[in-house]
Structure 1
Amino acid sequence: MFRAIAISLSVLILGTATAGYLYYRHLNNNIRSSGRSGGESGVKKADPNAMGQTPLNILLIGSDSRNSAANVKLGGSRDSVGDKPRADVQMLLHISADRKSSSLVSIPRDTIVKIPECKDDETGQSYAETVDKPINESLQRGGPGCTLTTWENLTGVYIDHWVMIDFAGVVAMADAIGGVDVCVKTGVWDRSTRMVRGGSGLKLPAGTSTVKGEDALKWLRTRHAFGNDQNRAKAQHMYMNSMLRTLKKQNAWSDAGRLMNLAETATKALQVSDEIGSVKKLYDLSMQLKNVPINRITMTTIPTAEWSQDKDRLVPIEKSADQMWQMLRDDVAFDKNGKPKAKASASAKPAGPPAAAPGTLDLTVVNGTGLGQAPRDGRASEIAQVLNGKGFDLAKASRTAEPRKETVVHYAQEDSDQGKADAASVAKALGLPETAVKADPKAGGLTLVVGADWRDGTVYEAPKAAEAGDLPEGADDLNAADEGTCMDVYSVYRWDGGKS
């Protein structure tokens, strides 16, 4: 979807003089936008790399809105006309800091999560925090900004922007892009059965078919025939990867007439977060997306299991999900097709002042274990007692909480080298890495924040550094260069192509 947007908006290069300005203004007037975030997550943007670059994270949302005649026609039931839409499709697109790889993660719509306190940017209505709710309901409780905040709480990943599209928008974009090849192992007809009502209406023969417009929407919405929501996500990834390959082969950037059509369609079909709510901003964004090689684009689905309270709902498999979120936070590619990163050579460090005696250090311990989940009760007191036992007699637990993904020892910036030495002695006593020691201009003294990476135990165990392509079982990864992938069809929905 984003390469299509990028191609669409590059038409602005062609605009010159009065006609170009008027068309630019026309496209700007098409764009709908609202606030980036609907609540507070405490997640901070990643630090820049040595080249001053940071990763780019964009939340892609497909809404199931039926609040227009076109959407009712395409989306089925009229019973939900007037209801607040849900986030039927949710994908997090991660572009690496060096813009050389792209990773995408889908979450099935019925995955159970905590939805934070949110405020709808368009209506001003506030919503209290709620737990054990399907993630698709986040859109109803504060708009796309709340869906973004829900994702930040869940993943610990800072999300720069969101982009949302509805059924009619998908059809319009699919028509503008043109035919995209998809494949099924057997013929498929996603229809009502005696056991299950509904279905997308998708009807294709075995093998490869070219879909566009409403057929493309049917492919993207098919769930029953493909077995479940996880497989529906895989089919969506297959379509998106095929679309990227198609646009790449067509060299669509050079076709001025097609670019204008795509730009017109994209600006009408999409709703975006405010900070990218102009053609120029979207164009600048597109320039960062267009050059990622096809074989460096990998799409995945978060591994899930049945929820114990309802077999029709899902929960993330915590260890597997954490592994994938950590890869995104650390900007580790989901594919193995990049060049190995050169290891930094060790350099001699200038000697600083010695740390003060442990028993003289005034140290505050803060519970930061509540990022994306309930905090671990009493965690600050536990670690304060550990420090007391190691001679840090003045270490005490704070009653405040500061959710944070990783454990860190802050020292006041004005304390300079002495503060750093004192903080390093705390880190060493607990087995924390040197990278856990950080200056903080807001810190009034030494502060240990026990993060979500250390919820249990009295000895810190550094997480294993993830390697490129090291995805957990069940991630269902699909690289955009893989052209031979076909969807399995659940037996009830197999179709013989009208031969019988």
Structure 2
Amino acid sequence: MGSARSEGGPERDQDPAGALGWDDGLYEGRDAGVETGRAKVPGQRGAGDAQGADGEGEAEPEDPDEQPGRDSGTPGPVAVPEQPGPPDGESGPGRRRPEAGEEQDAPDEAPGEAAEAAPRKPKRRKRRILAWTAAGLALTLVAAGTAGWFYYQHLNDNLDRKPLHIGKSRAPEPTPNAAGQTPLNILLIGSDARDSEENQRLGGARETYGGPPLADVQMLLHLSADRSNMSVISMPRDTLLKIPECTDPESGKVYPATVGTRMTNQTLMRGGPGCTVATWEELTGIRIDHFMMVDFAGVVSMADAIGGVPVCVDANLHSRTSDGKGSGLKLKKGTTEIKGEDALAWLRTRYGFGDGSDIARAKAQHMYMNSLVRKLRENTGLSSPNKLRNLAEEATEALTVDEELASVAELYALAEELKKVAPNRTTMATMPWVWSPSDRNRVEPKPDDAEQLFRLVREDIALDGRDGDSPSPSPSEDETSEDPAADPAEIAVLVRNSTGSPVAAPVSGRATDLVKLLTEAGFTGATADQNQVENREETAILYPSAELEGDAQSVAEALGMPLGTVRKSAEVSGVTLEIGADWAEGDTFPKPKKGDNEPPDSAEALNGSDDTACMEVDPAFTW
């Protein structure tokens, strides 16, 4: 992994961040110089660490597509300055007092000169003046440090805090790599809240003022354990999913798990961003460490603070329909730098981009984020202390974050981790999808491709293909659960035949075959599920709670399956083997095929270094 130092532009004579007492290493691409041990990297876990109304009767919200401007967007995470010290008396800046028994600094004169110098009154007066000057300087430094500390607290107070997860079940912790490092997963959420006059003005749809917010933008940012690469996965706003049970942390209201599917953007109205996190974990099996959420006004204020970000369209664009729908974005063909409300309009535009779907909008959001990251690394437009201070102010006022990320120091530590990844090792992707058979205006996760993409993230495999096509590690190469496994004869295993597909029936007797295999391995409590079950592309072993994780891993080891196939799920009540189409025959679990460790084409991956990408404009929206 190359040093971030080489990514930046030329050094400046004046360091604007230094003038503030901050470190703007993220913006320059130079080493930030954060002191080791100052703050634990948010979400970084060691090998031994532990983390700590259903809509069934409710009227479903009106489709935002039918309302002018019911879209949203959010740029990526923003770095903020490092923490200045507290006031004097609280281990803050200023002159250090010697500890008890510590030697004082030697005087300016040699020992023999002191006696001779006693009669020299001018020198004594000079020393008195120097002493007063030093005292004044010390007081000035203490005052400056105190002001810096209070400003730091002010930035902390700007941040809005919410619980990370408000569901019943968490996804399992990822297994640390050989160096003891773990990946970092952050959910980025764009809220369409109309809870203020400014958000109402920017978002339109006056009839929704004061109503529950929707999570119109959802992106999972995955930073690899070794910090060499980063993947960002968008979920289309129109995705239909089952939403798990969530409990509102403020009112205590319990929203039961949905019986059918709902649009994923409704997760935010079921108790807050913690329910959006719970839904992602339930769907993907990926443990999420943090979330960051921003609303319309926040996008505009941060985009203004950052400055122009270049975007490209392949024809003149005006996003406005004859009946007034659309974002109103108007751009000339080619590359334009956008900021403020134009940046928000770009992130919200559907009418005019591609086929006018939320899928096309996600692609435009990826392009903006890639340009934003390149700009921040090059320090373009952020060359003065005032601009850096303004960015810190706007970012902290705009963001809602989880409680573990709710300080400037934690956000800065996160930014330091993110800047380690070069743009050419950053990949933007969209969750593979298919049109929903129940509603042709909605989509669902594509059964095989979506799971393949999620598996790559769970197993910390880079989406740019530079991790190679080596097979998944064998169980003996992975770290096992801290939960001890019971004796095989005491472990009840339910075996489900999920080998069918949309065009083929399940393989007859497949569950019975695997029950026999498990029984021979000592799992005499294994039984075949006689009920009709959903088909799945890949075989997995599911367990409902932490106390059964060791048992599930024991089953995987007996069958020769990698631990990456063992997942926690609220959909099962005990250890459950779901046999997928990938193991439709034979007693030996199949090795990954060539290409299995690459994202599917349907993910539409975009490399972060691609500065030639241009949005396709619908001819009906040109001028």
TM-score normalized with structure 2 length: 0.65
Q: Does 1:10 align with 2:81?
A: yes
**Partner SS, residue 10 of structure 1:** coil
Q: Aligned ranges for residues 397-436 of structure 1 at < 5 Å? A: 397=527, 406-407=540-541, 427-428=557-558, 430=559, 432-433=560-561
Task: Tell me the equivalent position of 1:149.
Answer: 278
Tell me how large the CA RMSD over aligned residues is: 3.8
Please report how far the alpha carbon of residue 490 of structure 1 lies from its aligned counterpart in structure 2 after TM superposition: 1.1
Task: Tell me the equivalent position of 2:234.
Answer: 106
Structure 1: distance between partners of 2:270 and 2:599: 32
Q: Quick check: 1:86–1:136 contact (8 Å CA) kept in 2?
A: yes
Q: Quick check: 1:3–1:290 contact (8 Å CA) kept in 2?
A: no
Task: Tell me the equivalent position of 1:293.
Answer: 422
Q: Quick check: 2:493–2:576 contact (8 Å CA) kept in 1?
A: yes
**Partner SS, residue 482 of structure 1:** coil
Q: Quick check: 2:239–2:263 contact (8 Å CA) kept in 1?
A: yes
Equivalent residue for 1:127, pick from 255, 258, 261: 255
Task: Tell me the equivalent position of 1:202.
Answer: 329
Which letter maps to 1:262? L
Task: Tell me the equivalent position of 1:303.
Answer: 432
Please report how far the alpha carbon of residue 78 of structure 1 lies from its aligned counterpart in structure 2 after TM superposition: 0.7
CA gap of 1:449–1:306, structure 2 versus 1, over 3 A, is: closer
Structure 2: runs of 5 or more not aligned: 1-73, 87-92, 94-144, 478-486, 498-505, 530-537, 567-573
Structure 1: distance between partners of 2:375 and 2:149: 31
Task: Tell me the equivalent position of 1:473.
Answer: 601
Q: Does 1:326 align with 2:460?
A: no
Q: Does 1:482 align with 2:610?
A: yes
Structure 2: distance between partners of 1:464 and 1:205: 47
Structure 1: distance between partners of 2:293 and 2:433: 24
Please report how far the alpha carbon of residue 10 of structure 1 lies from its aligned counterpart in structure 2 after TM superposition: 2.5
Structure 1: distance between partners of 2:183 and 2:576: 25
**Partner SS, residue 291 of structure 1:** coil
Q: Does 1:90 align with 2:189?
A: no
**Partner SS, residue 246 of structure 1:** helix
Which letter maps to 1:153? E
CA gap of 1:205–1:394, structure 2 versus 1, over 3 A, is: closer
Which letter maps to 1:211? I
Structure 1 residues 440-478: Cα deviation after superposition (integer angstroms, max 9, x where no partner): xxxxxxx96525868975746346278697221221211
Task: Tell me the equivalent position of 1:394.
Answer: 524
Count of residues paired in the alignment: 449
Equivalent residue for 2:491, pick from 359, 364, 369: 364
Which letter maps to 1:407? I
Structure 1: distance between partners of 2:513 and 2:419: 48
Structure 1: distance between partners of 2:565 and 2:371: 45
Q: Quick check: 1:12–1:24 contact (8 Å CA) kept in 2?
A: yes
Q: Aligned ranges for residues 190-339 of structure 1 at < 5 Å? A: 190-193=319-322, 197-226=324-353, 227-250=356-379, 255-336=384-465, 338=466
Q: Quick check: 1:423–1:437 contact (8 Å CA) kept in 2?
A: no
Q: Quick check: 2:219–2:235 contact (8 Å CA) kept in 1?
A: yes
Task: Tell me the equivalent position of 2:107.
Answer: none
Structure 2: distance between partners of 1:146 and 1:408: 22
Please report how far the alpha carbon of residue 19 of structure 1 lies from its aligned counterpart in structure 2 after TM superposition: 1.5
Structure 1 residues 84-103: Cα deviation after superposition (integer angstroms, max 9, x where no partner): 00001000000000111110
Structure 2: distance between partners of 1:43 and 1:406: 14
CA gap of 1:381–1:25, structure 2 versus 1, over 3 A, is: same
Which letter maps to 1:323? Q
Q: Quick check: 2:428–2:606 contact (8 Å CA) kept in 1?
A: yes
Structure 1: distance between partners of 2:230 and 2:252: 35
Q: Does 1:63 align with 2:197?
A: no
CA gap of 1:344–1:474, structure 2 versus 1, over 3 A, is: closer
Task: Tell me the equivalent position of 2:592.
Answer: 464
Structure 2: distance between partners of 1:259 and 1:139: 31
**Partner SS, residue 261 of structure 2:** strand
Structure 1 residues 204-245: Cα deviation after superposition (integer angstroms, max 9, x where no partner): 111111100000000000011112111100100101111111
Structure 1 residues 252-295: Cα deviation after superposition (integer angstroms, max 9, x where no partner): 78743322211111100000011111222222222211221011
**Partner SS, residue 312 of structure 1:** coil
Structure 1: runs of 5 or more not aligned: 350-359, 371-375, 439-446, 496-500
Structure 1: distance between partners of 2:564 and 2:238: 36
Please report how far the alpha carbon of residue 321 of structure 1 lies from its aligned counterpart in structure 2 after TM superposition: 0.3
Structure 2: distance between partners of 1:14 and 1:238: 38
Structure 2: distance between partners of 1:30 and 1:110: 32
TM-score normalized with structure 1 length: 0.80
Q: Quick check: 1:186–1:206 contact (8 Å CA) kept in 2?
A: yes
CA gap of 1:453–1:325, structure 2 versus 1, over 3 A, is: farther
Which letter maps to 1:395? G
Structure 2: distance between partners of 1:326 and 1:344: 11
Q: Quick check: 2:473–2:562 contact (8 Å CA) kept in 1?
A: no
Structure 2: distance between partners of 1:475 and 1:20: 46
Please report how far the alpha carbon of residue 199 of structure 1 lies from its aligned counterpart in structure 2 after TM superposition: 0.5
Structure 1 residues 78-130: Cα deviation after superposition (integer angstroms, max 9, x where no partner): 10011100001000000000111110000111101000000122332210111
CA gap of 1:236–1:383, structure 2 versus 1, over 3 A, is: same
**Partner SS, residue 373 of structure 2:** helix
- What is the identity percentage for the equivalent residue pairs of Structure 1 and Structure 2? 41
Stretch deviating more after TM superposition (98-107 or 449-458): 449-458
Task: Tell me the equivalent position of 1:74.
Answer: 202
Stretch deviating more after TM superposition (147-156 or 257-266): 257-266
Structure 1: distance between partners of 2:412 and 2:162: 18
CA gap of 1:251–1:206, structure 2 versus 1, over 3 A, is: closer
Greater strand content = 1
CA gap of 1:456–1:437, structure 2 versus 1, over 3 A, is: closer
**Partner SS, residue 79 of structure 1:** helix
Q: Does 1:175 align with 2:248?
A: no
Q: Does 1:31 align with 2:159?
A: yes
Structure 1: distance between partners of 2:565 and 2:309: 51
Q: Quick check: 1:56–1:94 contact (8 Å CA) kept in 2?
A: yes
CA gap of 1:252–1:183, structure 2 versus 1, over 3 A, is: closer
